[in-house]
Structure 1
């Protein structure tokens, strides 16, 4: 969706309806970004309406989300320590056959690499000490309950919708079974929730939200802006696994309740547009909300294969090599899935430099070769860390200077390997 289209609908004073995930994600951002988003939401609070099902799901899940976020930093430092230890093992295993007096240069190289790993380990410890202030900011945000205060405000302003009656829910469960059988959106991708749900009703959460949205649209006759961070195919038309537009079935069903416009948008896009509406800018918040997508685009322009020697990464990984008797080569056939997760965004006003840090996950289709004549096809999942730095040419418009982009990958780890077929060459 373009900003012009959004601004036209905004001028019609639409109803803004957030999904549960959009609200819970406010706990997952840094304190400054979360505060920035909440400030904007409070500014437009008269436009916002919360489905009752969203309120229910929020109250059930928010304490669990908070506990996960409180553990995030300690788990991160533990993960870094594990990656460093794994790197030490890989270096040792790769060069152990060369150890000895006859290979002094290789011994020297190994000593240098291990010294660098020790430096990284010390940096990780220093990082752990430095983030104490960041942890305190997070804890303060959780303890003061700013997100909860926003939800309470919506309740006080009577901008939370009514709950469905028991009879209405039963009717919707019956309808939901029929819809999910025929893959009618939304919600059918949540059928996996049946496994841990004796009531077999939790899978209908998205459908209940959708139906409450439709009922509100019918009563109010205003355009609807639905904010969701759910990227599954039962909400979106996907292209290369990225959301492109709302499923056409949703538009068709909406038309039977209202003649007004309906748009579906991520929280990231919504905040970008609201900032333009009110001429507000927060550079760190912008790059935290949009950083993962930016990094994916930058890597895609170069190509994973060109940026990373994937065959080499696998051949030098002891866990992967231990799956075979004698691995001699690995051929990368295709990249099945790739994803980048943002963990932090930093901006320096003095230099106009931005640093984005996170992790990546690659699922590869490969052919492994043993003894130079045994071939086995399989899938392998490679994980690691990624850091992107670049300079802004115009910080008011967040324009990036292309020649300053620098991408660094590190800490490679083999998360999973599945063998499918064995052939003899």
Structure 2
């Protein structure tokens, strides 16, 4: 039965380990960007890992393209963080100052003393940020980019031709409509013409590489979306079963996927030169995961709030029309009160749905722990 449904049987520890002996290792763009965004000690350990994997390291052209598109965002974002943090901190401190100034009197709070304490804290923070900014490792990060590009020299797939991309777009739209993995979670991306097909391009290239080299692929990814992972009740069990089966059918080779933190632990058992630094690297990676999750949640919350305000404004307008509030005029197109009531019901339903969504806990709170299928 397992031969008929290979994707539905998570790999045992021995099976996952055996792949390492002959696999091609493919990091995604975000994994490569980790070599730039972390402290010096962590960057060094990551580069040592890629150096250890060098003979079996390879990336599709699309991975390199995404790395270069996002590299300056990572580098300049780190440089801009000092001024941004000072600005945010000053805004918060100023609110506290204003609240203190509004106290006409208080039994225990000394307004002048607390204002002076805030000024001292603010000055100290600015001083520390200025010192960190002066010590920013611009040259060291540039050196990391150079080392990484040298490691990948001659280990990058070919760029797709325009006619290949046009054919993929048609196939991608059909796959995404049917939610065939990978990539369908990017279907709503509104960027370049082919940006939403990036994961599908990478997938096709990995199948082609495995077939040409007659070697399995181990994909190392920070992408936690369901169009790559088999997720059951919040627990990652390994690659999507459909991916395993499509990969084997297209290349006659096996496919496996690791989160980067998890991959590091297994790599450390095989490459003693990186073992000592794994704990430090993993902690930095987990901190990054938590930070990215908070950024994502904040962005989603902002979109939800904006949408809720739009719906509430429309709802209030309809309520005014139905109640005959002064100044509320009913357009001829919506003169039918039953239509207005139906729309009001829709608005209330959508607002309730937004409220439930914003209060629901995240589905996957995994910080890089080991999925059941990959305890190799």
Question: Normalising by structure 2, what TM-score?
Answer: 0.67
Find the aligned partners of 1:362 and 1:162 in 2 and give their Cα distance.
Answer: 36
- Alignment partner of 1:49 is 2:97: no
Report the CA distance shift for 1:248/1:37 in structure 2 as closer, same or farther (over 3 A): same
Is the aligned partner of 1:220 residue 2:213?
Answer: yes
With over 3 angstroms needed to count, the CA separation of the structure-2 counterparts of 1:177 and 1:122, relative to structure 1, is same
How many residue pairs match? The answer is 298
For residues 264 and 184 of structure 1, what CA distance do their matches in structure 2 show? 17
Compute the displacement of 1:211 (Å).
0.2
Higher strand share: 1
Is the 1:246–1:263 contact (alpha carbons within 8 Å) kept by the matching residues of 2?
yes
Partners of 1:125 and 1:60 in 2: CA distance: 32
- The residue that corresponds to 1:423 in the other structure is none
Matches within 5 A, 1:141-152: 141-144=140-143, 146-152=144-150
**How far 1:233 sits from its partner (Å)?**
2.5
Identify, as 1 or 2, the structure richer in helix: 2
1:231 to 224, 228, 231: 224
**Contact 1:6/1:273 (8 A) holds in 2:** no
Structure 2 gap ranges (5+): 1-9, 305-350, 360-376
Structure 2 residue aligned with 1:86, among 85, 91, 95? 95
Q: Deviations over 1:82-139 (max 9, x none)?
A: 23223444x449xx4x633xx422x43x56654543343233123213313541x2x0
Report whether the alignment pairs 1:104 with 2:107. Answer: yes
Q: Quote the residue 1:18 is aligned against.
A: 27
Contact conserved, 2:59 with 2:156, CA < 8 A, in 1?
yes
Match in the other structure for 1:289: 285
Counterpart position of 2:173: 177
Q: Distance in 2 between matches of 1:362 and 1:178?
A: 27
8 Å contact from structure 1 (residues 186, 206) kept in 2: yes
User: Within 1, Cα distance between the matches of 2:114 and 2:233?
Assistant: 38
Query: Matches of 2:36 and 2:68 in 1, distance apart?
Result: 13
Structure 1 CA distance for aligned equivalents of residues 26 and 120 of structure 2: 49
Note if contact 2:244-2:254 (Cα within 8 Å) is conserved in structure 1: no
Deviation at 1:41, TM superposition (A): 0.4
Q: Is residue 2:148 matched to residue 1:160?
A: no
Gaps of 5+ in 1: 297-337, 342-358, 366-375, 383-425
Q: Deviations over 1:245-270 (max 9, x none)?
A: 32222122112124443211122222
**Superposition misfits of 4+ residues, deviation over 4 angstroms:** 1-7, 110-116, 238-244, 338-341, 359-365, 376-382
Aligned partner of 1:370 in structure 2 is none
- State the superposition RMSD in angstroms: 3.7
The answer to whether residue 174 in structure 2 is matched with residue 186 in structure 1 is: no
Quick check: 1:231–1:242 contact (8 Å CA) kept in 2? Answer: no
Using CA pairs below 8 Å that are at least 6 residues apart, which structure has the higher relative contact order? 2
Whole-angstrom distance in 2 between the partners of 1:87 and 1:277:
54
Other-structure match for 1:249? 242
| Distance change in 2, residues 1:262/1:7 (3 Å) | closer
